[in-house]
Chains A and B, each alone.
Chain A
Amino acid sequence: MIKEYFKDVFSGIASLLRGMKVTLSYFVRPSTIITQKYPENRAELKMFEAFRGEVVMPHNENNEHKCTGCGICEINCPNGSIEIISKFEVGEDGKKRKVIDQHIYRLAMCTFCGLCIKTCPSNALAWGQEFEHAVFDRTKLTKVLNQEGSTVQKGVKE
Protein backbone atom coordinates (compact mmCIF):
# COMPACT_ATOMS: atom_id res chain seq x y z
CA MET A 1 0.00 0.00 0.00
CA ILE A 2 2.68 2.47 1.07
CA LYS A 3 4.85 1.21 -1.75
CA GLU A 4 2.12 1.95 -4.27
CA TYR A 5 1.54 5.36 -2.75
CA PHE A 6 5.17 6.34 -3.22
CA LYS A 7 5.17 4.82 -6.69
CA ASP A 8 2.23 7.05 -7.61
CA VAL A 9 3.94 10.11 -6.19
CA PHE A 10 7.18 9.54 -8.08
CA SER A 11 5.52 8.61 -11.37
CA GLY A 12 3.40 11.74 -11.00
CA ILE A 13 6.46 13.91 -10.49
CA ALA A 14 8.15 12.21 -13.44
CA SER A 15 5.17 12.99 -15.69
CA LEU A 16 5.21 16.62 -14.61
CA LEU A 17 8.94 16.87 -15.30
CA ARG A 18 8.44 15.37 -18.74
CA GLY A 19 6.01 18.17 -19.53
CA MET A 20 8.34 20.77 -18.09
CA LYS A 21 11.15 19.44 -20.25
CA VAL A 22 9.18 20.29 -23.39
CA THR A 23 8.55 23.82 -22.21
CA LEU A 24 12.12 24.39 -21.05
CA SER A 25 13.54 23.05 -24.31
CA TYR A 26 11.89 25.99 -26.08
CA PHE A 27 13.87 28.44 -23.97
CA VAL A 28 17.10 27.30 -25.56
CA ARG A 29 15.67 27.18 -29.12
CA PRO A 30 14.95 30.78 -30.10
CA SER A 31 14.59 29.70 -33.76
CA THR A 32 11.15 28.26 -32.95
CA ILE A 33 9.69 31.68 -32.14
CA ILE A 34 7.06 32.52 -34.73
CA THR A 35 5.61 35.82 -33.56
CA GLN A 36 5.71 38.77 -35.94
CA LYS A 37 6.44 42.33 -34.93
CA TYR A 38 3.33 43.66 -36.56
CA PRO A 39 3.26 47.43 -36.80
CA GLU A 40 7.01 47.49 -37.45
CA ASN A 41 6.88 45.06 -40.38
CA ARG A 42 4.13 46.92 -42.20
CA ALA A 43 6.33 47.74 -45.18
CA GLU A 44 7.15 44.12 -46.06
CA LEU A 45 3.80 42.65 -44.99
CA LYS A 46 2.19 41.79 -48.30
CA MET A 47 -1.00 39.78 -48.57
CA PHE A 48 -1.63 37.16 -51.23
CA GLU A 49 -3.54 37.51 -54.44
CA ALA A 50 -6.58 35.62 -53.16
CA PHE A 51 -6.68 37.45 -49.84
CA ARG A 52 -10.14 38.78 -49.08
CA GLY A 53 -9.45 42.24 -47.74
CA GLU A 54 -12.15 44.28 -49.43
CA VAL A 55 -13.94 44.47 -52.76
CA VAL A 56 -12.29 46.87 -55.19
CA MET A 57 -12.88 47.89 -58.79
CA PRO A 58 -9.61 47.98 -60.69
CA HIS A 59 -9.12 50.96 -62.99
CA ASN A 60 -6.61 51.18 -65.81
CA GLU A 61 -4.30 54.11 -66.50
CA ASN A 62 -6.97 55.96 -68.53
CA ASN A 63 -9.32 55.91 -65.52
CA GLU A 64 -11.49 53.26 -67.13
CA HIS A 65 -13.20 50.35 -65.41
CA LYS A 66 -15.11 47.35 -66.69
CA CYS A 67 -18.37 47.81 -64.77
CA THR A 68 -21.41 48.12 -67.00
CA GLY A 69 -23.82 48.61 -64.12
CA CYS A 70 -25.80 45.45 -64.87
CA GLY A 71 -26.59 44.92 -61.20
CA ILE A 72 -25.82 41.21 -60.97
CA CYS A 73 -23.52 41.79 -58.00
CA GLU A 74 -26.30 43.70 -56.26
CA ILE A 75 -28.73 40.80 -56.76
CA ASN A 76 -26.23 38.20 -55.63
CA CYS A 77 -25.07 39.99 -52.51
CA PRO A 78 -26.71 38.24 -49.53
CA ASN A 79 -26.53 41.24 -47.18
CA GLY A 80 -27.31 44.15 -49.42
CA SER A 81 -23.86 45.64 -49.09
CA ILE A 82 -23.74 46.63 -52.75
CA GLU A 83 -25.93 49.28 -54.28
CA ILE A 84 -25.73 50.46 -57.87
CA ILE A 85 -26.92 53.86 -58.91
CA SER A 86 -27.06 54.24 -62.68
CA LYS A 87 -27.64 57.22 -64.96
CA PHE A 88 -28.54 57.73 -68.60
CA GLU A 89 -25.92 59.01 -70.96
CA VAL A 90 -26.09 59.89 -74.63
CA GLY A 91 -23.49 57.87 -76.50
CA GLU A 92 -21.53 58.67 -79.67
CA ASP A 93 -24.24 57.20 -81.85
CA GLY A 94 -26.85 59.47 -80.32
CA LYS A 95 -28.54 56.64 -78.42
CA LYS A 96 -29.40 56.90 -74.76
CA ARG A 97 -27.52 54.32 -72.74
CA LYS A 98 -27.66 53.29 -69.11
CA VAL A 99 -24.26 53.65 -67.47
CA ILE A 100 -23.06 53.39 -63.93
CA ASP A 101 -23.06 56.51 -61.81
CA GLN A 102 -22.02 55.13 -58.42
CA HIS A 103 -21.09 51.62 -57.32
CA ILE A 104 -21.65 51.85 -53.57
CA TYR A 105 -19.98 49.23 -51.43
CA ARG A 106 -20.67 49.05 -47.69
CA LEU A 107 -17.66 47.35 -46.14
CA ALA A 108 -19.30 47.29 -42.72
CA MET A 109 -22.04 44.95 -43.98
CA CYS A 110 -19.86 42.73 -46.16
CA THR A 111 -19.33 39.12 -45.09
CA PHE A 112 -16.61 38.46 -47.69
CA CYS A 113 -18.45 35.59 -49.35
CA GLY A 114 -17.08 36.60 -52.75
CA LEU A 115 -20.28 36.05 -54.72
CA CYS A 116 -20.18 39.51 -56.33
CA ILE A 117 -16.69 38.89 -57.68
CA LYS A 118 -17.50 35.37 -58.82
CA THR A 119 -20.70 36.25 -60.63
CA CYS A 120 -19.61 39.49 -62.30
CA PRO A 121 -19.96 38.85 -66.04
CA SER A 122 -17.30 41.38 -67.04
CA ASN A 123 -14.80 40.72 -64.19
CA ALA A 124 -15.07 44.30 -63.03
CA LEU A 125 -14.61 43.53 -59.34
CA ALA A 126 -11.62 42.05 -57.55
CA TRP A 127 -10.31 41.44 -54.07
CA GLY A 128 -8.19 44.15 -52.53
CA GLN A 129 -5.33 43.23 -50.24
CA GLU A 130 -5.92 46.02 -47.74
CA PHE A 131 -6.60 44.65 -44.25
CA GLU A 132 -6.36 47.61 -41.90
CA HIS A 133 -9.98 48.65 -41.93
CA ALA A 134 -10.29 50.36 -38.54
CA VAL A 135 -11.72 53.89 -38.80
CA PHE A 136 -13.05 56.39 -36.30
CA ASP A 137 -16.22 57.17 -38.23
CA ARG A 138 -18.33 54.35 -39.64
CA THR A 139 -19.55 56.42 -42.59
CA LYS A 140 -16.03 56.03 -43.96
CA LEU A 141 -16.78 52.32 -44.44
CA THR A 142 -19.29 53.15 -47.17
CA LYS A 143 -17.20 53.44 -50.29
CA VAL A 144 -17.82 54.39 -53.88
CA LEU A 145 -15.84 51.91 -55.94
CA ASN A 146 -15.78 53.67 -59.30
CA GLN A 147 -13.42 56.63 -59.32
CA GLU A 148 -14.65 60.07 -60.13
CA GLY A 149 -14.86 60.80 -63.84
CA SER A 150 -14.19 57.20 -64.79
CA THR A 151 -15.71 55.59 -67.84
CA VAL A 152 -16.38 52.07 -69.05
CA GLN A 153 -13.58 50.40 -70.98
CA LYS A 154 -14.22 49.91 -74.66
CA GLY A 155 -15.03 46.37 -75.72
CA VAL A 156 -16.74 45.37 -72.50
CA LYS A 157 -19.96 43.57 -73.33
CA GLU A 158 -23.12 45.27 -72.24
Chain B
Amino acid sequence: MEQTTTKREDISSIDYQEFVINMGPQHPSTHGVLRLMLKLKGEIVEVVQPHCGYIHRGIEKMCEHITYPQTIHLTDRLDYLSAHMNNEAVCLLVENALQIEVPERVKYIRTILDELTRLASHQLWWCAFGMDMGALTTFFYGLRDREKILDIFEKTTGSRLIQSFNVPGGLMNDIHKDFQKEVKEFIKYFRKILPEYDQLLTGNVIFQQRTKDIGILTKEDAINFGVTGPSGRGSGFSCDVRKIAPYSAYPYVKFEEKLQTKGDTFSRYMVRMHEMWESMNILEQLIDNIPEGTHAVKMKPIIKLPEGEYYQRVEASRGEFGVHVISDGNKTPYRFKLRSPNFMNLSVMHHISRNHKIADLIAISGSLDLVIPDIDR
Protein backbone atom coordinates (compact mmCIF):
# COMPACT_ATOMS: atom_id res chain seq x y z
CA MET B 1 0.00 0.00 0.00
CA GLU B 2 2.82 2.37 0.88
CA GLN B 3 4.42 1.70 -2.45
CA THR B 4 1.35 2.67 -4.40
CA THR B 5 0.98 5.89 -2.41
CA THR B 6 4.46 7.01 -3.32
CA LYS B 7 3.82 6.12 -6.93
CA ARG B 8 0.64 8.13 -6.87
CA GLU B 9 2.53 11.21 -5.75
CA ASP B 10 4.98 10.76 -8.59
CA ILE B 11 2.15 10.58 -11.04
CA SER B 12 0.44 13.66 -9.68
CA SER B 13 3.55 15.68 -10.40
CA ILE B 14 3.23 14.73 -14.08
CA ASP B 15 -0.37 16.04 -13.94
CA TYR B 16 -2.37 13.17 -15.35
CA GLN B 17 -5.86 13.95 -16.40
CA GLU B 18 -8.58 12.95 -13.98
CA PHE B 19 -11.52 11.20 -15.54
CA VAL B 20 -14.66 9.36 -14.57
CA ILE B 21 -15.67 6.03 -16.03
CA ASN B 22 -18.50 3.62 -15.36
CA MET B 23 -17.55 0.07 -14.53
CA GLY B 24 -20.68 -1.86 -15.22
CA PRO B 25 -23.64 -2.37 -15.14
CA GLN B 26 -22.66 -4.87 -17.84
CA HIS B 27 -19.12 -5.64 -16.79
CA PRO B 28 -18.17 -9.30 -16.49
CA SER B 29 -16.11 -8.74 -13.34
CA THR B 30 -18.86 -7.15 -11.31
CA HIS B 31 -20.75 -10.49 -11.34
CA GLY B 32 -24.08 -8.93 -12.14
CA VAL B 33 -25.61 -5.58 -12.81
CA LEU B 34 -23.56 -3.50 -10.41
CA ARG B 35 -22.48 -0.08 -11.63
CA LEU B 36 -19.37 1.35 -10.07
CA MET B 37 -18.61 4.94 -10.95
CA LEU B 38 -14.87 5.35 -10.77
CA LYS B 39 -12.91 8.56 -10.59
CA LEU B 40 -9.49 7.75 -11.90
CA LYS B 41 -6.18 9.45 -12.07
CA GLY B 42 -4.34 7.57 -14.74
CA GLU B 43 -4.76 3.98 -13.64
CA ILE B 44 -5.23 4.79 -9.99
CA VAL B 45 -8.66 4.69 -8.43
CA GLU B 46 -9.50 7.80 -6.42
CA VAL B 47 -13.23 7.42 -5.78
CA VAL B 48 -15.47 4.39 -6.07
CA GLN B 49 -19.14 5.18 -6.02
CA PRO B 50 -21.49 2.24 -6.33
CA HIS B 51 -24.84 2.84 -7.99
CA CYS B 52 -27.44 0.29 -6.97
CA GLY B 53 -30.87 -0.42 -8.27
CA TYR B 54 -30.39 -2.11 -11.62
CA ILE B 55 -31.99 -5.31 -10.37
CA HIS B 56 -34.28 -3.80 -7.74
CA ARG B 57 -37.47 -5.85 -7.57
CA GLY B 58 -39.00 -4.42 -4.42
CA ILE B 59 -38.94 -7.71 -2.58
CA GLU B 60 -39.45 -6.09 0.83
CA LYS B 61 -42.56 -4.34 -0.39
CA MET B 62 -43.82 -7.44 -2.18
CA CYS B 63 -43.48 -9.40 1.04
CA GLU B 64 -45.91 -7.02 2.75
CA HIS B 65 -48.66 -8.24 0.47
CA ILE B 66 -48.16 -11.99 0.68
CA THR B 67 -48.46 -14.48 3.48
CA TYR B 68 -45.52 -15.84 5.47
CA PRO B 69 -45.24 -19.20 3.64
CA GLN B 70 -45.29 -17.32 0.35
CA THR B 71 -42.34 -15.09 1.32
CA ILE B 72 -40.11 -18.15 1.12
CA HIS B 73 -40.03 -18.13 -2.66
CA LEU B 74 -38.96 -14.45 -2.64
CA THR B 75 -36.19 -14.73 -0.05
CA ASP B 76 -34.77 -17.46 -2.30
CA ARG B 77 -34.17 -14.85 -4.92
CA LEU B 78 -32.14 -12.44 -2.80
CA ASP B 79 -28.81 -14.12 -2.49
CA TYR B 80 -29.49 -17.05 -4.76
CA LEU B 81 -26.24 -18.73 -3.74
CA SER B 82 -27.35 -19.02 -0.12
CA ALA B 83 -31.04 -19.53 -0.79
CA HIS B 84 -31.41 -22.17 1.86
CA MET B 85 -30.09 -19.96 4.68
CA ASN B 86 -32.28 -17.05 3.66
CA ASN B 87 -35.33 -19.29 3.79
CA GLU B 88 -34.26 -20.63 7.13
CA ALA B 89 -34.18 -17.11 8.58
CA VAL B 90 -37.84 -16.55 7.68
CA CYS B 91 -38.85 -20.00 8.91
CA LEU B 92 -37.01 -19.60 12.22
CA LEU B 93 -38.62 -16.21 12.69
CA VAL B 94 -42.12 -17.59 12.20
CA GLU B 95 -41.42 -20.61 14.39
CA ASN B 96 -39.97 -18.49 17.19
CA ALA B 97 -42.82 -16.02 17.01
CA LEU B 98 -45.42 -18.79 17.27
CA GLN B 99 -43.24 -20.67 19.80
CA ILE B 100 -43.22 -23.87 17.79
CA GLU B 101 -40.50 -26.40 18.46
CA VAL B 102 -39.51 -28.14 15.24
CA PRO B 103 -38.44 -31.80 15.38
CA GLU B 104 -34.75 -32.60 15.84
CA ARG B 105 -34.70 -34.24 12.42
CA VAL B 106 -35.66 -30.96 10.79
CA LYS B 107 -32.91 -29.11 12.65
CA TYR B 108 -30.29 -31.60 11.53
CA ILE B 109 -31.36 -31.66 7.90
CA ARG B 110 -31.55 -27.88 7.79
CA THR B 111 -28.04 -27.56 9.15
CA ILE B 112 -26.68 -30.13 6.72
CA LEU B 113 -28.29 -28.35 3.79
CA ASP B 114 -26.98 -25.02 5.13
CA GLU B 115 -23.44 -26.29 5.11
CA LEU B 116 -23.82 -27.88 1.69
CA THR B 117 -25.11 -24.56 0.39
CA ARG B 118 -22.16 -22.77 1.97
CA LEU B 119 -19.78 -25.23 0.31
CA ALA B 120 -21.44 -24.79 -3.07
CA SER B 121 -21.38 -21.03 -2.69
CA HIS B 122 -17.72 -20.92 -1.73
CA GLN B 123 -16.86 -23.22 -4.62
CA LEU B 124 -18.54 -20.87 -7.05
CA TRP B 125 -16.83 -17.91 -5.40
CA TRP B 126 -13.48 -19.67 -5.70
CA CYS B 127 -13.86 -20.38 -9.40
CA ALA B 128 -15.18 -16.90 -10.19
CA PHE B 129 -12.44 -15.27 -8.13
CA GLY B 130 -9.81 -17.22 -10.01
CA MET B 131 -11.37 -16.15 -13.27
CA ASP B 132 -11.31 -12.50 -12.19
CA MET B 133 -7.58 -12.93 -11.72
CA GLY B 134 -7.23 -14.44 -15.16
CA ALA B 135 -7.05 -18.13 -14.24
CA LEU B 136 -9.67 -19.79 -16.41
CA THR B 137 -8.90 -23.33 -15.24
CA THR B 138 -10.23 -22.66 -11.75
CA PHE B 139 -13.62 -21.88 -13.21
CA PHE B 140 -14.00 -25.36 -14.62
CA TYR B 141 -12.70 -27.11 -11.53
CA GLY B 142 -14.92 -25.18 -9.15
CA LEU B 143 -18.02 -25.75 -11.21
CA ARG B 144 -17.24 -29.43 -11.63
CA ASP B 145 -17.26 -30.00 -7.87
CA ARG B 146 -20.21 -27.71 -7.28
CA GLU B 147 -22.18 -29.85 -9.70
CA LYS B 148 -21.91 -32.78 -7.29
CA ILE B 149 -23.55 -30.77 -4.50
CA LEU B 150 -26.25 -29.53 -6.82
CA ASP B 151 -27.02 -33.11 -7.80
CA ILE B 152 -27.52 -33.97 -4.13
CA PHE B 153 -29.85 -30.97 -3.78
CA GLU B 154 -31.76 -31.93 -6.86
CA LYS B 155 -32.53 -35.39 -5.56
CA THR B 156 -33.77 -34.23 -2.17
CA THR B 157 -35.22 -30.78 -2.69
CA GLY B 158 -36.22 -31.07 -6.32
CA SER B 159 -34.35 -28.05 -7.61
CA ARG B 160 -30.74 -27.12 -7.90
CA LEU B 161 -30.24 -23.49 -6.97
CA ILE B 162 -33.43 -21.90 -5.66
CA GLN B 163 -34.81 -24.64 -3.52
CA SER B 164 -37.76 -23.26 -1.51
CA PHE B 165 -37.24 -26.31 0.67
CA ASN B 166 -37.80 -24.77 4.09
CA VAL B 167 -41.34 -24.09 5.12
CA PRO B 168 -42.48 -22.63 8.44
CA GLY B 169 -42.69 -25.68 10.70
CA GLY B 170 -40.24 -27.92 8.92
CA LEU B 171 -39.30 -29.03 5.45
CA MET B 172 -41.19 -29.42 2.22
CA ASN B 173 -40.60 -33.17 2.01
CA ASP B 174 -38.38 -35.76 3.57
CA ILE B 175 -34.85 -36.42 2.35
CA HIS B 176 -34.13 -38.83 -0.48
CA LYS B 177 -33.09 -42.29 0.65
CA ASP B 178 -29.63 -41.89 -0.91
CA PHE B 179 -29.03 -38.50 0.73
CA GLN B 180 -26.76 -39.59 3.56
CA LYS B 181 -24.75 -41.92 1.35
CA GLU B 182 -24.23 -39.28 -1.30
CA VAL B 183 -23.19 -36.57 1.15
CA LYS B 184 -20.63 -38.93 2.67
CA GLU B 185 -19.33 -39.82 -0.78
CA PHE B 186 -19.07 -36.14 -1.62
CA ILE B 187 -17.10 -35.31 1.54
CA LYS B 188 -14.72 -38.15 0.81
CA TYR B 189 -14.28 -36.88 -2.74
CA PHE B 190 -13.94 -33.22 -1.82
CA ARG B 191 -11.38 -33.81 0.92
CA LYS B 192 -9.12 -35.11 -1.82
CA ILE B 193 -9.93 -32.27 -4.21
CA LEU B 194 -9.53 -29.29 -1.87
CA PRO B 195 -5.71 -29.56 -1.62
CA GLU B 196 -5.76 -29.44 -5.41
CA TYR B 197 -7.44 -26.03 -5.20
CA ASP B 198 -4.54 -24.85 -3.06
CA GLN B 199 -1.96 -26.21 -5.50
CA LEU B 200 -3.73 -24.64 -8.42
CA LEU B 201 -4.40 -21.15 -7.09
CA THR B 202 -3.34 -20.43 -3.51
CA GLY B 203 0.33 -21.06 -4.09
CA ASN B 204 0.40 -19.43 -7.49
CA VAL B 205 2.89 -16.57 -7.56
CA ILE B 206 0.80 -14.32 -9.79
CA PHE B 207 -2.22 -14.81 -7.61
CA GLN B 208 -0.29 -14.11 -4.41
CA GLN B 209 1.22 -10.92 -5.73
CA ARG B 210 -2.15 -9.69 -6.88
CA THR B 211 -3.88 -10.37 -3.57
CA LYS B 212 -1.39 -9.82 -0.76
CA ASP B 213 -1.48 -6.31 0.77
CA ILE B 214 -4.31 -5.31 -1.55
CA GLY B 215 -7.47 -3.76 -0.14
CA ILE B 216 -6.63 -3.78 3.53
CA LEU B 217 -9.67 -3.54 5.77
CA THR B 218 -8.89 -3.00 9.44
CA LYS B 219 -10.89 -4.61 12.20
CA GLU B 220 -12.28 -1.25 13.33
CA ASP B 221 -13.48 -0.44 9.84
CA ALA B 222 -15.02 -3.87 9.44
CA ILE B 223 -17.04 -3.28 12.59
CA ASN B 224 -17.92 0.30 11.65
CA PHE B 225 -19.13 -0.62 8.18
CA GLY B 226 -20.87 -3.78 9.39
CA VAL B 227 -18.84 -6.06 7.15
CA THR B 228 -19.72 -9.58 8.27
CA GLY B 229 -19.15 -13.08 7.06
CA PRO B 230 -15.84 -14.26 5.63
CA SER B 231 -15.02 -10.70 4.52
CA GLY B 232 -15.27 -9.44 8.09
CA ARG B 233 -13.52 -12.46 9.54
CA GLY B 234 -10.60 -11.80 7.23
CA SER B 235 -10.03 -8.66 9.27
CA GLY B 236 -10.23 -10.47 12.59
CA PHE B 237 -13.81 -9.44 13.32
CA SER B 238 -15.40 -12.39 15.08
CA CYS B 239 -18.92 -12.22 13.69
CA ASP B 240 -20.03 -15.78 13.03
CA VAL B 241 -23.75 -15.99 13.89
CA ARG B 242 -23.38 -19.76 14.11
CA LYS B 243 -21.17 -19.12 17.17
CA ILE B 244 -22.74 -15.97 18.62
CA ALA B 245 -26.39 -16.99 18.43
CA PRO B 246 -26.54 -20.67 17.50
CA TYR B 247 -29.66 -21.85 15.73
CA SER B 248 -30.89 -25.19 14.33
CA ALA B 249 -28.31 -27.92 15.01
CA TYR B 250 -25.29 -25.63 15.38
CA PRO B 251 -25.29 -25.90 19.20
CA TYR B 252 -24.64 -29.65 18.82
CA VAL B 253 -21.58 -29.45 16.62
CA LYS B 254 -17.99 -28.49 17.30
CA PHE B 255 -16.35 -26.22 14.82
CA GLU B 256 -13.86 -23.40 14.71
CA GLU B 257 -14.51 -19.89 13.59
CA LYS B 258 -11.68 -19.23 11.20
CA LEU B 259 -10.17 -15.79 11.59
CA GLN B 260 -7.39 -13.98 9.78
CA THR B 261 -5.91 -10.80 11.13
CA LYS B 262 -4.35 -9.03 8.18
CA GLY B 263 -7.52 -7.92 6.44
CA ASP B 264 -6.21 -7.91 2.89
CA THR B 265 -7.66 -9.70 -0.12
CA PHE B 266 -5.57 -12.77 0.52
CA SER B 267 -6.86 -13.11 4.11
CA ARG B 268 -10.44 -12.97 2.90
CA TYR B 269 -9.52 -15.67 0.40
CA MET B 270 -7.94 -17.84 3.07
CA VAL B 271 -10.92 -17.51 5.43
CA ARG B 272 -13.18 -18.94 2.77
CA MET B 273 -10.77 -21.74 1.96
CA HIS B 274 -10.60 -22.68 5.66
CA GLU B 275 -14.36 -22.43 5.95
CA MET B 276 -14.77 -25.11 3.33
CA TRP B 277 -12.78 -27.49 5.55
CA GLU B 278 -14.87 -26.49 8.56
CA SER B 279 -18.10 -27.04 6.63
CA MET B 280 -17.00 -30.56 5.87
CA ASN B 281 -16.21 -31.13 9.56
CA ILE B 282 -19.70 -29.99 10.52
CA LEU B 283 -21.25 -32.21 7.86
CA GLU B 284 -19.34 -35.24 9.08
CA GLN B 285 -20.54 -34.71 12.65
CA LEU B 286 -24.18 -34.47 11.60
CA ILE B 287 -24.69 -36.76 8.65
CA ASP B 288 -24.64 -40.05 10.55
CA ASN B 289 -26.74 -38.81 13.45
CA ILE B 290 -29.91 -37.60 11.74
CA PRO B 291 -32.64 -38.60 14.23
CA GLU B 292 -35.79 -40.37 13.13
CA GLY B 293 -39.03 -38.46 13.11
CA THR B 294 -41.29 -36.36 10.98
CA HIS B 295 -40.03 -33.80 8.53
CA ALA B 296 -42.53 -31.12 9.52
CA VAL B 297 -44.92 -30.19 12.29
CA LYS B 298 -48.52 -29.56 11.39
CA MET B 299 -49.12 -25.84 11.05
CA LYS B 300 -52.36 -23.94 10.84
CA PRO B 301 -53.51 -23.35 7.27
CA ILE B 302 -53.27 -19.59 7.76
CA ILE B 303 -50.26 -18.44 9.74
CA LYS B 304 -50.79 -15.24 11.72
CA LEU B 305 -47.99 -13.85 13.83
CA PRO B 306 -48.93 -12.19 17.13
CA GLU B 307 -48.62 -8.44 17.18
CA GLY B 308 -45.07 -7.27 17.75
CA GLU B 309 -41.59 -6.99 16.33
CA TYR B 310 -39.42 -9.97 15.51
CA TYR B 311 -35.85 -10.29 14.37
CA GLN B 312 -34.00 -13.39 13.31
CA ARG B 313 -30.50 -13.65 11.97
CA VAL B 314 -28.60 -16.49 10.36
CA GLU B 315 -25.16 -16.88 8.91
CA ALA B 316 -25.53 -16.89 5.15
CA SER B 317 -22.49 -17.68 3.02
CA ARG B 318 -21.59 -13.99 2.71
CA GLY B 319 -22.36 -12.81 6.20
CA GLU B 320 -25.13 -12.11 8.61
CA PHE B 321 -28.56 -12.25 7.04
CA GLY B 322 -31.33 -10.77 9.15
CA VAL B 323 -35.09 -10.57 8.82
CA HIS B 324 -36.98 -7.94 10.78
CA VAL B 325 -40.74 -8.30 10.77
CA ILE B 326 -43.28 -5.99 12.32
CA SER B 327 -46.59 -7.79 12.60
CA ASP B 328 -49.96 -6.24 13.28
CA GLY B 329 -51.58 -9.60 13.84
CA ASN B 330 -52.64 -10.16 10.25
CA LYS B 331 -51.66 -12.96 7.92
CA THR B 332 -49.34 -10.60 6.04
CA PRO B 333 -46.46 -8.70 7.70
CA TYR B 334 -46.87 -4.97 8.30
CA ARG B 335 -43.20 -4.34 7.54
CA PHE B 336 -40.66 -6.79 6.22
CA LYS B 337 -37.09 -5.53 6.47
CA LEU B 338 -34.13 -7.53 5.28
CA ARG B 339 -30.57 -7.04 6.41
CA SER B 340 -28.59 -8.40 3.54
CA PRO B 341 -24.88 -8.98 4.01
CA ASN B 342 -23.83 -7.91 0.52
CA PHE B 343 -25.15 -4.38 0.88
CA MET B 344 -22.95 -3.81 3.91
CA ASN B 345 -19.99 -5.47 2.23
CA LEU B 346 -20.39 -3.25 -0.82
CA SER B 347 -20.37 -0.11 1.34
CA VAL B 348 -16.73 -0.71 2.19
CA MET B 349 -15.63 -0.76 -1.47
CA HIS B 350 -14.57 2.87 -1.71
CA HIS B 351 -12.81 2.74 1.62
CA ILE B 352 -10.54 -0.17 0.81
CA SER B 353 -9.90 0.33 -2.90
CA ARG B 354 -8.75 3.95 -2.80
CA ASN B 355 -5.25 4.48 -4.21
CA HIS B 356 -5.18 1.04 -5.79
CA LYS B 357 -5.05 0.24 -9.48
CA ILE B 358 -8.15 -0.72 -11.49
CA ALA B 359 -6.92 -4.30 -11.72
CA ASP B 360 -6.78 -4.43 -7.92
CA LEU B 361 -10.34 -3.18 -7.74
CA ILE B 362 -11.41 -6.34 -9.56
CA ALA B 363 -9.52 -8.43 -7.02
CA ILE B 364 -11.12 -6.56 -4.12
CA SER B 365 -14.67 -6.84 -5.45
CA GLY B 366 -14.02 -10.51 -6.12
CA SER B 367 -12.79 -11.08 -2.58
CA LEU B 368 -15.85 -9.39 -1.10
CA ASP B 369 -17.90 -11.94 -3.07
CA LEU B 370 -20.79 -9.68 -3.99
CA VAL B 371 -24.10 -11.04 -5.20
CA ILE B 372 -25.96 -8.17 -6.78
CA PRO B 373 -29.62 -9.26 -6.38
CA ASP B 374 -28.95 -9.31 -2.64
CA ILE B 375 -27.73 -5.70 -2.72
CA ASP B 376 -30.67 -4.30 -4.63
CA ARG B 377 -33.37 -6.63 -3.31
Contacts of B173 in A (CB 8 A): 50
- B residues in contact (CB < 8 Å) with A: 66-67, 69-70, 72-74, 137, 144, 147, 154-159, 162, 164, 167, 172-173, 176, 196, 199-201, 203-206, 208, 301
* A–B Cβ pairs within 8 angstroms, 20 of them: A11-B205, A15-B203, A15-B205, A18-B199, A18-B203, A19-B199, A19-B201, A19-B203, A34-B144, A50-B155, A51-B158, A52-B158, A76-B67, A78-B73, A111-B162, A111-B164, A112-B158, A113-B73, A114-B172, A115-B69
- Residues A68-84 near B (CB distance < 8 A): 72, 76, 78
- Out of A19, A34, A118, name the residue touching B204 (CB < 8 Å): A19
Q: How far is the CA of A50 from the CA of B208 in the complex (A)?
A: 44
Is A112 touching B164 in the complex (CB atoms < 8 A)?
A: yes
> Given A112-B159, A115-B70, does the pair A19, B200 have CB atoms closer than 8 Å?
yes
Q: How far is the CA of A158 from the CA of B162 in the complex (A)?
A: 34
A29 proximal to B (CB < 8 A): no
- Out of B154, B199, B201, B208, name the residue touching A21 (CB < 8 Å): B199
- Out of A16, A22, A76, A112, name the residue touching B205 (CB < 8 Å): A16
Distance in Å from the Cβ of A157 to the closest Cβ of chain B?
Answer: 15
A63 proximal to B (CB < 8 A): no
Count, chain A residues at interface, CB 8 A: 26
Contact with B along A106-146 (1 / 0, CB 8 A): 00000111110011000000010000000000000000000
Closest residue on chain A to residue B174 by CB atoms: A50
Distance in Å from the Cβ of B301 to the closest Cβ of chain A?
Answer: 7
Distance in Å from the Cβ of B90 to the closest Cβ of chain A?
Answer: 13
Is B205 touching A12 in the complex (CB atoms < 8 A)?
A: yes
Contacts of B199 in A (CB 8 A): 18-19, 21-22
- A residues in contact (CB < 8 Å) with B: 11-12, 15-16, 18-19, 21-23, 34, 48-52, 72, 76, 78, 111-115, 118-119, 127
Is A113 touching B164 in the complex (CB atoms < 8 A)?
A: yes
Q: How far is the CA of A12 from the CA of B209 in the complex (A)?
A: 10
Contacts of B162 in A (CB 8 A): 111-112
Closest residue on chain B to residue A113 by CB atoms: B73
Contacts of A34 in B (CB 8 A): 144, 147
Q: A15-B205, A52-B158, A78-B66 are in contact. List 13 more A-B contacts (CB 8 A).
A: A12-B205, A18-B203, A19-B203, A23-B200, A34-B147, A50-B158, A111-B73, A112-B159, A113-B164, A114-B164, A114-B172, A115-B70, A115-B73
Contacts of A11 in B (CB 8 A): 205
Q: How far is the CA of A22 from the CA of B130 in the complex (A)?
A: 15
Q: How far is the CA of A61 from the CA of B37 in the complex (A)?
A: 63
Contacts of A78 in B (CB 8 A): 66, 70, 73-74
Q: How far is the CA of A55 from the CA of B203 in the complex (A)?
A: 49
Q: How far is the CA of A150 from the CA of B176 in the complex (A)?
A: 33
Distance in Å from the Cβ of A140 to the closest Cβ of chain B?
Answer: 22
- Out of A12, A16, A19, A48, name the residue touching B154 (CB < 8 Å): A48
Distance in Å from the Cβ of B143 to the closest Cβ of chain A?
Answer: 10
Is A118 touching B167 in the complex (CB atoms < 8 A)?
A: yes
Q: How far is the CA of A53 from the CA of B167 in the complex (A)?
A: 19
Closest residue on chain B to residue A21 by CB atoms: B199
Is A119 touching B301 in the complex (CB atoms < 8 A)?
A: yes
Distance in Å from the Cβ of A129 to the closest Cβ of chain B?
Answer: 10
Is B204 touching A15 in the complex (CB atoms < 8 A)?
A: yes
Distance in Å from the Cβ of B303 to the closest Cβ of chain A?
Answer: 11
Closest residue on chain B to residue A26 by CB atoms: B141
Distance in Å from the Cβ of A49 to the closest Cβ of chain B?
Answer: 8
- Out of B72, B144, B159, name the residue touching A52 (CB < 8 Å): B159
Contacts of B164 in A (CB 8 A): 111-114
Contacts of B301 in A (CB 8 A): 72, 119
Closest residue on chain A to residue B144 by CB atoms: A34
Distance in Å from the Cβ of B27 to the closest Cβ of chain A?
Answer: 27
Distance in Å from the Cβ of A31 to the closest Cβ of chain B?
Answer: 13
Distance in Å from the Cβ of B293 to the closest Cβ of chain A?
Answer: 19
Distance in Å from the Cβ of B193 to the closest Cβ of chain A?
Answer: 10
Q: How far is the CA of A56 from the CA of B361 in the complex (A)?
A: 49
Q: How far is the CA of A72 from the CA of B27 in the complex (A)?
A: 44
Is B156 touching A113 in the complex (CB atoms < 8 A)?
A: no
Closest residue on chain B to residue A51 by CB atoms: B158
Closest residue on chain B to residue A34 by CB atoms: B144
Is B155 touching A48 in the complex (CB atoms < 8 A)?
A: yes
Closest residue on chain A to residue B148 by CB atoms: A34
